[in-house]
């Protein structure tokens, strides 16, 4: 990943986890006052993706629903990367 779009992990707020294995793997986060999708790439590296209007609606419905509603996450035609971060100080991601 390009260093130019690296984000300080303290600027990312985890909102809801879709999948985890000892740590969050995918889910919904907030960055720069916007809802974004995150995916773990390596042990501590996460990539943030912009969400289009339909994906935002789906994420908001999922976020407000109870855990009985199963969902595999937003469908991406192509992924618009917001940036990436290494989880060091953000306890939500480590």
pTM of the model as a whole? 0.86
Count the domains in the chain.
1
Q: Is residue 43 in a domain?
A: yes
On average, the pLDDT of the chain sits at 88
Domain residues for 14? 3-86
What is the pLDDT, as a whole number, of residue 36? 95
4: tokens are 């130019």
User: 39 Cβ partners below 8 Å, 6+ apart?
Assistant: 25, 26, 46, 47, 49
Q: Is residue 91 in a domain?
A: no
Q: Is residue 93 in a domain?
A: no
What is the biggest distance separating any 2 CA atoms in the chain, rounded to whole angstroms? Answer: 40
pLDDT digits (tens, 9 = 90+) for 23-47: 899 999 999 999 999 999 987 899 9
Q: Is residue 9 in a domain?
A: yes
């Amino acid at each position: 990943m390009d260093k130019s779009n690296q984000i300080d992990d303290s600027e990312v707020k985890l909102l809801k986890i879709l999948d985890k294995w000892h740590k969050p793997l995918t889910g919904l986060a907030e960055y720069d006052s916007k809802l974004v999708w995150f995916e773990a790439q390596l042990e501590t590296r996460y990539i943030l993706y912009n969400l289009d209007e339909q994906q935002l609606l789906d994420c908001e419905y999922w976020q407000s629903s109870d855990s009985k509603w199963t969902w595999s996450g937003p469908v991406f035609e192509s992924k618009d990367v917001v940036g990436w971060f290494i989880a060091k100080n953000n306890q939500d991601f480590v």
